Chain A
């Protein structure tokens, strides 16, 4: 648990430009787009778009380098888990501008804190508001709604209930979704500066009833949204949902029921104190007997392989096939079916092993393993890699393949391709 000590410096490593700098870039793009409409000259528009796309590529690259350089392995795995739990994707240009800052702002500072704080930060981060259309949702009876005929968008409200907190099996109804969506109206962020704002002109007037409890009723305010989020964070169904999801990710696709119950109890007892929940997971014997039951997802596989190589910058350039001043490490993950910052939707990535070890998925891993082997064969010996990458877990078949490969690079590739390296 010492790895969770905050202030280790790695929370910030992901950062890159701030949200305010990012929204400024998007505003410049939008301005160029308007100008292009009248002038017909699109060169400025293209330049602004290129700047955002380039930042996004750097964000993707940095997301791979951060865990490669971090000494805090468990913290990095938790960061991945929570960023996936609150998945946001770079679907369009504005989302791509913001997505690279989401984890640094909303996830990493709260990993060792309470679920309440994490939920507040993640569910209301500008990247989430854009991704789930909250910035466009307007109370039908609000001033803006009545004047411009604009209305509600349920997307964020539904996903908070279904994915972020209670889980889809919990006993909420469509009415809860709608009322919660009405409560969320007004939540937005300023394109100037990028800060979370509350716009009373868009907020649906009157109290909203979510899960039987009434919120608001006075002048619309952000505080009522926070109260509802806090209640959702404290809900017993949330404790169950989070405990199970952590156990699925860290132990087995079908986790031990007693382990989940133990974690759920820790969540409830501690009021959603996350280190208590992690501690409950780590102290339970079922967490340790499941070793090898999970397949590493491509991101985890790629980071583990790079950590085993421990490349210097020049080697990273070779691995990432540096061209025109840019490395393309992230391209390997695109091919393996897990493009960085592009999960398939708000539900995040699939967990099941069978989802990842498909013919195509495995082929992409083997290709990248070969590429690593060819790139590193002058420095690395397969027998050394066996020790550093696998240690005691290397099986006889892997030793045989690594040692008997026709060429050195093949031996390296077999180590990365081995089942024990692809499982955890």
Chain B
């Protein structure tokens, strides 16, 4: 029934190995030349440690072992007293070219419980209250982008991503897995699933994927690079919007070591997008967001616990300039939210909202009611060129 050729077999093995760190890329087409990539950093990235206010003396007190002078990696200065974790060094050339910005001290409206699962659901559904969690904001935005024509099925995903779930069809893909069927096998399978839409749709997409050769190359290597490179290829063609996740940011203990993998994954994903998009990188914005930040103080295990204020990382040629964006609250004792977390001073949803406005012409009323219900977009943000 299914031909297990060497290429797809290797691909499947590779994607299984990738599972802990990465979820599939989702894509959709839209009119125009602008491109938006959303990356969900799952597990709550330690914004304060990754983009550190190194010149603030409080930082050293809050992070006696994790902060400045730590044995490996070190920091690279950006601006305004902030420095980036040295493991993101591959992104520094982007910063120098004005293609990287950090929106600091941001968060969703989620407060109090600091649950990953609620936090991620809030981030992906874009709502103002846990009670309103439904479909994904990117899906609602797609439904409002003019003249969009969705791609034919190209994609295989090993799990659903709330961000893109909803009425508008979105294709998904993950490294590995394609379904090669002979004609008569396909006919029997179609008949087998005729009465069960869940199975019928999944099988049809899997078969279409192999028709399109989307398993392309099937090369081994860093799955983050493969996902980003695949997204870049599709975005260079008809797709205009893509989304995927990078996991592994929940660093309760031994944070310096624990951040090796997700930081490398993030650097690889962004540089692969840039390299793969070529000239289209100029018209691309990548928004990387995380469900919340982590505690300002390191905990008893050289790690950090669930916090509130975090950071969004913006990248791409569509950016106006390199900058530390937002309204920095400070990290002195009295500045901290509930005495423990970086204080969020801006709703993180403003960044994707203004990006959708600038890149795809979504109007403010729709963004503040339908896409991000209850969001006040505030004064115009000029982070996009």
Which positions in A face B, CB cutoff 8 Å? 133, 136-138, 140, 145, 149-155, 158, 162, 168-169, 172-174, 177, 295, 334-335, 337, 339, 342, 344-345, 347, 350, 352-355, 357-364, 366-367, 369-370, 373, 395, 397-398, 400-401, 404-406, 409-410, 413-414, 417-419, 422
Q: How far is the CA of A158 from the CA of B16 in the complex (A)?
A: 30
User: Which residues 321-368 of B have a CB within 8 angstroms of A?
Assistant: 338
Structural contact, B306 and A158, CB atoms closer than 8 A: yes
Q: Give the shortest distance, in Å, between A165 (CB) and chain B (any CB).
A: 14
Residue of B nearest to A162 (CB): B115
**B15 contacts the other chain (Cβ, under 8 Å)?**
yes
Instruction: List B contacts of A418 (CB < 8 A).
Output: 192
Q: How far is the CA of A417 from the CA of B192 in the complex (A)?
A: 8
Structural contact, B202 and A359, CB atoms closer than 8 A: yes
Q: A353's contact among B198, B299, B305, by CB below 8 Å, is which?
A: B198
Structural contact, B159 and A173, CB atoms closer than 8 A: no
**B19 contacts the other chain (Cβ, under 8 Å)?**
yes
Binary per-residue interface labels of chain B (71-95) against chain A in the complex, 1 for a CB within 8 Å, 0 otherwise = 0000000000000000000000000
Q: How far is the CA of A404 from the CA of B303 in the complex (A)?
A: 59
**Interface size range on B against A:** 35 or more
Structural contact, A153 and B112, CB atoms closer than 8 A: no
Instruction: List B contacts of A414 (CB < 8 A).
Output: 1, 188-189, 192
Q: B199's contact among A136, A400, A419, by CB below 8 Å, is which?
A: A419
Q: How far is the CA of A360 from the CA of B114 in the complex (A)?
A: 32
Structural contact, B112 and A155, CB atoms closer than 8 A: no
**B206 contacts the other chain (Cβ, under 8 Å)?**
yes
Q: How far is the CA of A373 from the CA of B299 in the complex (A)?
A: 53
Instruction: List B contacts of A410 (CB < 8 A).
Output: 1, 185, 188
**B61 contacts the other chain (Cβ, under 8 Å)?**
no
Structural contact, A337 and B159, CB atoms closer than 8 A: yes
Residue of B nearest to A175 (CB): B338
Which secondary structure dominates chain B's binding surface? loop
Q: How far is the CA of A150 from the CA of B193 in the complex (A)?
A: 58
Which positions in B face A, CB cutoff 8 Å? 1-2, 4, 12-13, 15-16, 19-20, 24, 64, 112-118, 130, 155-160, 172, 174, 176-179, 184-185, 188-189, 191-196, 198-199, 202-203, 205-206, 209, 250, 252-253, 299-301, 303, 305-306, 338
Interchain residue pairs with CB less than 8 A apart (9):
A149-B64, A347-B117, A359-B157, A359-B177, A359-B206, A360-B174, A363-B156, A405-B188, A406-B185
Structural contact, B195 and A133, CB atoms closer than 8 A: no
Instruction: List B contacts of A138 (CB < 8 A).
Output: 300
Which secondary structure dominates chain A's binding surface? helix
Structural contact, B189 and A145, CB atoms closer than 8 A: no
Structural contact, B303 and A153, CB atoms closer than 8 A: yes
Instruction: List A contacts of B188 (CB < 8 A).
Output: 400-401, 404-405, 410, 414
Instruction: List B contacts of A362 (CB < 8 A).
Output: 199, 202-203, 206
Instruction: List A contacts of B305 (CB < 8 A).
Output: 153-155
Q: Give the shortest distance, in Å, between A398 (CB) and chain B (any CB).
A: 6
Structural contact, B205 and A359, CB atoms closer than 8 A: yes
Q: How far is the CA of A212 from the CA of B116 in the complex (A)?
A: 25
Structural contact, B16 and A335, CB atoms closer than 8 A: yes
Q: How far is the CA of A80 from the CA of B177 in the complex (A)?
A: 27
Structural contact, B195 and A364, CB atoms closer than 8 A: no
Q: B178's contact among A177, A354, A363, A419, by CB below 8 Å, is which?
A: A363
Structural contact, A401 and B156, CB atoms closer than 8 A: no
Q: Give the shortest distance, in Å, between B114 (CB) and chain A (any CB).
A: 7
Instruction: List B contacts of A137 (CB < 8 A).
Output: 300-301
Q: How far is the CA of A150 from the CA of B178 in the complex (A)?
A: 50
Structural contact, A358 and B159, CB atoms closer than 8 A: yes
Structural contact, B156 and A359, CB atoms closer than 8 A: yes
Given contacts A174-B338, A395-B195, A410-B1, contact A140 B209 (CB under 8 A): no
Instruction: List B contacts of A339 (CB < 8 A).
Output: 16, 19
Q: B114's contact among A174, A342, A364, A405, by CB below 8 Å, is which?
A: A174
Q: Give the shortest distance, in Å, between B251 (CB) and chain A (any CB).
A: 11
A339-B16, A359-B156, A359-B203 known; 6 new pairs, CB 8 Å cut-off, are A153-B303, A162-B115, A357-B202, A363-B177, A400-B191, A401-B188
Q: Give the shortest distance, in Å, between A162 (CB) and chain B (any CB).
A: 5
Q: How far is the CA of A99 from the CA of B177 in the complex (A)?
A: 29
Given contacts A133-B253, A398-B192, A414-B192, contact A360 B160 (CB under 8 A): no
Q: Give the shortest distance, in Å, between B79 (CB) and chain A (any CB).
A: 33
Instruction: List B contacts of A363 (CB < 8 A).
Output: 2, 156, 177-179, 206
Given contacts A366-B2, A366-B179, contact A355 B300 (CB under 8 A): no
